[in-house]
Amino acid sequence: MAEKAPKEMRLTKQRQAVLAALRSTDTHPDAAWVYQEVRQSLPGISLGTVYRSLAALVDQGLIQELPQEGKVLYDANITPHQHAVCTSCSRVFDLVLPPLDQLYREARRRSGFHSISAYRLDFYGLCQRCAAA
């Protein structure tokens, strides 16, 4: 599990466009959405390139992956935060909560894991729009 030497990464126009598209929204889009979006400025881009660009940006720590129910969503917000997922419309909302320091220590103790590098906390419920309907 050694970190691999961060090999040179070129900032091609495709990757810039993918990053810009992700940064243009506060939703949590999937690769297909990014593809549609980026095609407006780069009509010739291929879906494979979108996937590879997303992977490269994740490697560089510029974006976050958010695996969710059979697909991967992406998030340009890389500050620590959690998510609230609507069980009806599946939209994902950002949620800033105080850090789980106590629970973190407790988790390390009870899991037997020597180190815990991260956690993920998702809440599930009905968003305002779906609760109204």
As a whole number of Å, the end-to-end CA separation of the chain is 48
Q: How far is the CB of 74 from DNA (least distance, A)?
A: 9
Task: Work out what residue 5 binds among DNA, a second copy, none; the CB cut-off runs from 5 to 8 Å by kind.
Answer: none
Residue 126's binding partner out of a second copy, DNA, none, with CB under 5 to 8 Å set by partner kind: a second copy
Q: Which amino acid does the sequence have at 40?
A: Q
Of the residues 14, 29, 57, 75, which one makes contact with DNA according to CB under 7 A: 14
- What is the DSSP track for 39-105? HTT-TT--HHHHHHHHHHHHHTTSSEEEEETTEEEEES--SS-EEEEETTT--EEEE-----HHHHH
Instruction: Tell me the per-residue interface mask from 42 to 81 with DNA, x by CB under 7 A, - otherwise.
Output: x-xxxxxx-xxx-xx-------------xxx---------
Minimum CB separation from DNA for residue 75, in Å? Answer: 13
Distance of alpha carbon 74 from alpha carbon 66, whole angstroms? 6
Q: Write out the residues near DNA by the rule CB under 7 A.
A: 7-15, 30-32, 42, 44-49, 51-53, 55-56, 70-72
